[in-house]
């Protein structure tokens, strides 16, 4: 007979409210319940509105990735209405999404993840003084530089879209603001100093040199040759406290594909496929196998959520979101459980880049496995390729000045029907599934990246990715749950649009379990 203890922990520096309920036996986690504890009913409040209004409202689902939500809604409407989108508009949309993603990667990495290295529990570590010099909130050098440069990056969204956050410059058929060369040069003049800073401080070398690092051995040389770079110091600190050994979870990685293909997206005869510059796909970590992505294989389960249960999983186009709160049942969250082909999946910058063909991350994944360190490294280094992509997007815009930025849809083209938009937001795979009836929104289902990562158990009882990733972990101080914080924050958790996590307790109950 052993004692099983239940503790509740909650986490800040995630966007939103999250509590994690952990069952602990003999000092290790044996079961975990990831609880989304805030419910706004966003999907319901769009019902019955004009179809185009959803583009204004969905950016308000999430203050951090509103551009991605807006983009996704527009894609869904364009699919239903068979809208043509001029290439110039797609370039502008991609540039703004890239700016939002780079800002999010920087802010998350250095305002939310790395401050944990300054936690008092690490006071005895050799890096403690250096970590504080770099990463301490409002004081560390990198912290302050990121405040400044992330703000500047978003000026690019304002230049093309009016403001960030929460503008509505994408509409079905294009973008509302006419691009010109002034805007291109203004954006480049913002990007040049950010690129120089990123190269000098974060990477320790030029992006071109960095992008030639393609396997674990070259990465080890880079870290040795550039010891003062943030990438190297972050890697050193992470390994010193074992972040390269914890946080593996779901064996399936998922990406919907990043940045729509300006030339092929709408002309692809098969409208059920949306083509992206960084390709979509699924990667099976256990079988080391890359698979094609098929959105029809997505289903959501609500057996452990505070929604009316509909039995097994449902495809999001048929999804139902009817709140049914009961604190005394075994249900525990406002998040649904999405599954891909009945399997638990994880999504984010690591999945996106491995599926997109990033040789370095594939090599590191093969050699060291999935971990907190690798996931966070993937987020930091994605900024390098995003900055490069932004320069080429600006070239693409400059080359198309004078071409249309919007193609108007005649009212008769705005027909009823169902459609979806799929894209990679900063945190991973984002999908909207919309049905329009008599010109009004009849159903609206959103699956956010964090919905995949923070999912509860499904109807077969299989735990979600985070729940899996903490199993077997020894519990450190439940009042200062550092390791669990590292794991969750390595996913850049965003619960506002999924449904916030950790610190602890509430109740300690004794359950008698009998060993076999």
- The distance of closest approach from Cβ of residue 333 to another protein in the complex, given in angstroms and rounded to an integer, is 12
- The distance of closest approach from Cβ of residue 141 to another protein in the complex, given in angstroms and rounded to an integer, is 12
- The distance of closest approach from Cβ of residue 39 to another protein in the complex, given in angstroms and rounded to an integer, is 4
Looking only at the bridges linking them, the beta strands covering 252-255 and 345-347 are parallel
Q: Cβ closer to another protein: 75 or 250?
A: 75
Q: Cβ closer to another protein: 62 or 429?
A: 62
- The distance of closest approach from Cβ of residue 372 to another protein in the complex, given in angstroms and rounded to an integer, is 17
- The distance of closest approach from Cβ of residue 334 to another protein in the complex, given in angstroms and rounded to an integer, is 8
Assess contact for 238 and 244: CB atoms under 8 A.
Answer: yes
Q: Cβ closer to another protein: 201 or 280?
A: 201
**Contact partners, residue 375, CB within 8 Å, separation at least 6:** 247, 348, 349, 350, 490, 491
- The distance of closest approach from Cβ of residue 148 to another protein in the complex, given in angstroms and rounded to an integer, is 8
**Which of 19, 3, 115, 6 shows the shortest CA–CA distance to 484?**
19
- The distance of closest approach from Cβ of residue 224 to another protein in the complex, given in angstroms and rounded to an integer, is 31
- The distance of closest approach from Cβ of residue 464 to another protein in the complex, given in angstroms and rounded to an integer, is 20
- The distance of closest approach from Cβ of residue 2 to another protein in the complex, given in angstroms and rounded to an integer, is 27
Q: Cβ closer to another protein: 119 or 275?
A: 119
Strand (E) or helix (H) holding 300: strand 298-301
Q: Torsions phi, psi of 141, nearest 5?
A: -60, -45
Q: Torsions phi, psi of 303, nearest 5?
A: -55, -35
Q: Cβ closer to another protein: 116 or 244?
A: 116
Which tokens go with 227? 């010891």
Residue 5: how many other CB atoms lie within 10 Å = 17
Assess contact for 493 and 11: CB atoms under 8 A.
Answer: yes
Strand (E) or helix (H) holding 104: helix 87-107
Assess contact for 264 and 275: CB atoms under 8 A.
Answer: yes
Beta bridge partner(s), residue 476: none
| Residue-wise DSSP of 406-417 | B-PPPGGG---E
Q: Cβ closer to another protein: 11 or 203?
A: 11
Assess contact for 480 and 243: CB atoms under 8 A.
Answer: no
Q: Cβ closer to another protein: 58 or 469?
A: 58
Q: Cβ closer to another protein: 263 or 479?
A: 479
Residue 162: how many other CB atoms lie within 10 Å = 13
Assess contact for 33 and 471: CB atoms under 8 A.
Answer: no
Q: Cβ closer to another protein: 8 or 199?
A: 8
Beta bridge partner(s), residue 333: 305
């Amino acid at each position: 007979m052993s004692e099983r203890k239940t503790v509740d922990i909650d986490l800040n520096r995630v966007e939103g409210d999250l509590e994690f309920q952990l069952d602990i036996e003999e000092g290790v986690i044996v079961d975990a319940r990831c609880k989304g504890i805030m419910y706004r009913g966003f999907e319901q409040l769009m019902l019955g509105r004009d179809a185009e209004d959803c583009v204004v409202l969905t950016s308000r689902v999430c203050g951090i990735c509103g551009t991605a939500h807006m983009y996704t809604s527009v894609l869904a409407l364009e699919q239903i209405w068979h809208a043509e989108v001029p290439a110039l508009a797609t370039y502008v949309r991609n540039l703004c999404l890239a700016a939002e993603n780079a800002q999010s990667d920087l802010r998350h990495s250095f305002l939310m993840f790395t401050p944990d290295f300054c936690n008092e529990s690490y006071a005895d570590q050799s890096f403690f003084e250096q970590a504080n010099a770099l990463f301490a909130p409002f004081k560390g050098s990198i912290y302050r530089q990121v405040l400044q440069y992330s703000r500047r990056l978003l000026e690019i969204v304002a230049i093309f879209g009016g403001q960030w956050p929460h503008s509505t410059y994408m509409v079905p058929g294009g973008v509302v603001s006419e691009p010109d060369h002034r805007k291109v040069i203004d954006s480049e003049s913002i990007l040049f100093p950010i690129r120089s800073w990123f190269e000098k401080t974060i990477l320790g070398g030029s992006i071109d040199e960095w992008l030639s690092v393609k396997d674990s051995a070259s990465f080890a040389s880079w870290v040795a040759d550039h010891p003062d770079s943030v990438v190297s110091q972050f890697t050193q600190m992470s390994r010193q406290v074992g972040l390269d050994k914890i946080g593996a979870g779901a064996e399936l990685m998922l990406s919907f594909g990043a940045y729509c293909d300006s030339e092929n997206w709408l002309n692809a005869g098969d409208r059920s496929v949306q083509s992206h510059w960084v390709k979509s796909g699924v990667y099976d970590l256990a079988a080391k196998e890359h698979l094609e992505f098929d959105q029809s294989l997505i289903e959501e389960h609500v057996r452990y959520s505070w929604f009316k249960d509909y039995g097994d999983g449902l495809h999001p186009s048929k999804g139902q979101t009817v709140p049914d709160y009961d604190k005394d049942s075994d249900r525990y969250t406002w998040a649904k459980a999405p599954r891909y082909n009945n399997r638990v999946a994880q999504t984010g910058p690591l999945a996106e880049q491995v599926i997109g063909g990033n040789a370095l991350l594939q090599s590191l994944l093969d050699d060291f496995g999935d971990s907190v360190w690798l996931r966070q490294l993937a987020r930091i280094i994605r900024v390098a390729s995003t900055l490069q992509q932004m320069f080429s997007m600006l070239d693409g815009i400059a080359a198309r000045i004078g071409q249309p930025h919007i193609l108007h849809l005649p009212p008769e083209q705005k027909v009823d029907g169902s459609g979806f938009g799929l894209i990679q937001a900063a945190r991973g795979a984002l999908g909207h599934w919309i049905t329009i009836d008599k010109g009004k929104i009849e159903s609206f289902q959103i699956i956010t990246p964090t919905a995949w990562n923070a999912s509860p158990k499904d109807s077969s009882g299989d735990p979600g990715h985070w729940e899996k990733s903490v199993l077997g972990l020894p519990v450190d101080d439940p009042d200062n749950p550092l390791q669990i914080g590292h794991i969750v924050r390595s996913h850049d958790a965003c619960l506002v649009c999924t449904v916030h996590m950790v610190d602890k307790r509430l109740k300690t109950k004794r359950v008698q379990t009998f060993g076999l």
